[in-house]
Amino acid sequence: MKIGVALRELYDSESALAGELLRLADRHAKEQEIHHVAQDLVRWSREHVREIVAAGPRYGLDLGNPDLENPEPPTEEAGEIPGEDSGPELLLLADLRRLYRMAAGVSLDWDLLGQGAQVVADPDLLALTKRCHPQSLRQMKWADAMLKTVSPQILAS
C-alpha cells in the first residue's frame, strides 16, 4: 500500500504552498490585496498539514511537528524565481504563476489521495480529502484571478 507515500507527498506540497503564500505576502507587501489574502490562505494550508500529520500514524508515518510559522522556502521551485533585476511587476506575475502551479499540484495530490482513500475504504481519510481539496482549488483559482486582474496593466504599461 502506498497511501503513506501519497500522504508524505501532500505533506511536502502543502508545506511548500504555505511557505510560498507567506513569501508572496512578504515580497508584495504593497500589493495590499495580495498581501492580506495570501496570509488568509496560509491558514488553510497550515490546517491541512496539521490534518495530514494527524492521519499519518494510521499509515505508518510520523511526520513530526512542522514549523509552519517559519516554513522552509521551496527548494525545488527556487530555480524558477526570476532575478530581482527583472523588476517588481514581472516578479509579481512570475510569483502568481508559480503559486498557481503549486496550488494546482496540491490539488492534484488531494485527488490522488482521495482515490487512495476510496480504494482502501478509509472513510476518515476520504472525509479529510473532501474537506481540504476544495480549499486547494480555491487557492489555485485565487492565484489565477489575481493574475488575470493585475496582468493587463503590467503588460500595457
Partner 1 sequence: MPSKDRIAEPWGSRTPYGPGQGWPTRVDSHLAEGVTPDQVDRWVQSATILHSNGDGLDIAVKDGQIVGVRGREVDRVNHGRLGPKDLYGWQANHSPDRLTRPLVRRGGELVETDWDTAMDLVVRRSKELLDEQGPSALGFYTSGQLFLEEYYTLAAIGHGALGTNHMDGNTRLCTATAAAALKESFGCDGQPGSYTDIDHADVIALYGHNMAETQTVLWTRVLDRLAGPNPPELLCVDPRPTPVAREAAVHLAPLPGTNVALMNGILHEIIRRDMVDHDYVDAHTVGYEELAKRVADYTPEHVADICDVPAERIREAAELLGNAERLMSTVLQGFYQSHQATAASVQVNNIHLVRGMLGKPGAGILQMNGQPTAQNTRECGADGDLTGFRNWSNDKHIEDLAAVWNLDPMRIPHYAPPTHAMQIMRYAEKGSIQFLWISATNPAVSLPELERIRSLLAQQGLFLVVQDIFMSETAELADVVLPAATWGEKTGTFTNADRTVHLSDKAVDPPGEARSDLDIFLDYARRMDFRDKDGEPFPQWHDPESAFEAWKRASAGQLCDYTGLTHEKLRGSGGVQWPCNDENPDGTERLYADGRFWAEPDQCESYGRDLVTGAPLEPTEYKAMNPEGRAIIKAAEYLPPHEKPDGEYPFALITGRTLYHFHTRTKTGRSPQLQKAAPDVWVEISPDDAREAGVSEGDHVEVASPRGVIRARARINEIRSGVLFVPFHYGYWDTVTDEEAGRRDRAANETTVTDWDPVSKQPLFKTSAARLRLVGSGGGVPAPAPTTTASRPVGAGTTETTGGPGAASEERLGGGTR
Comparing C-alpha atoms, which of 118, 13, 120, 119 is closest to residue 63?
13
| Distance in angstroms (rounded) separating the CA atoms of residues 84 and 33 | 22
Q: Contacting partner 1 (CB under 8 A), which of 2, 26, 36, 118?
A: 36
Q: Contacting partner 1 (CB under 8 A), which of 54, 119, 127, 145?
A: 145
Alpha-carbon dihedral 42, 109, 101, 76, rounded to 10 degrees: 90
Give the count of residues interacting with partner 1 (CB under 8 A). Answer: 25
Only one of the segments 34-42, 64-72, 78-86, 119-127 lies at the binding site for partner 1 (rule: CB under 8 A); that segment is 34-42
Q: How far is the CB of 104 from partner 1 (least distance, A)?
A: 14
Dump the DSSP string for 7-51. HHHHHHHHHHHHHHHHHHHHHTTTSHHHHHHHHHHHHHHHHHHHH
Q: Contacting partner 1 (CB under 8 A), which of 32, 65, 70, 75?
A: 32
Q: Which residues contact 62 (CB under 8 A, 6 or more apart)?
A: 56
Q: Contacting partner 1 (CB under 8 A), which of 6, 21, 41, 128?
A: 41
Contact between 39 and partner 1 (CB under 8 A)? yes
Only one of the segments 11-19, 39-47, 107-115, 122-130 lies at the binding site for partner 1 (rule: CB under 8 A); that segment is 39-47
Q: How far is the CB of 58 from partner 1 (least distance, A)?
A: 24
Q: How far is the CB of 151 from partner 1 (least distance, A)?
A: 8
Contact between 37 and partner 1 (CB under 8 A)? yes
Contact between 91 and partner 1 (CB under 8 A)? no
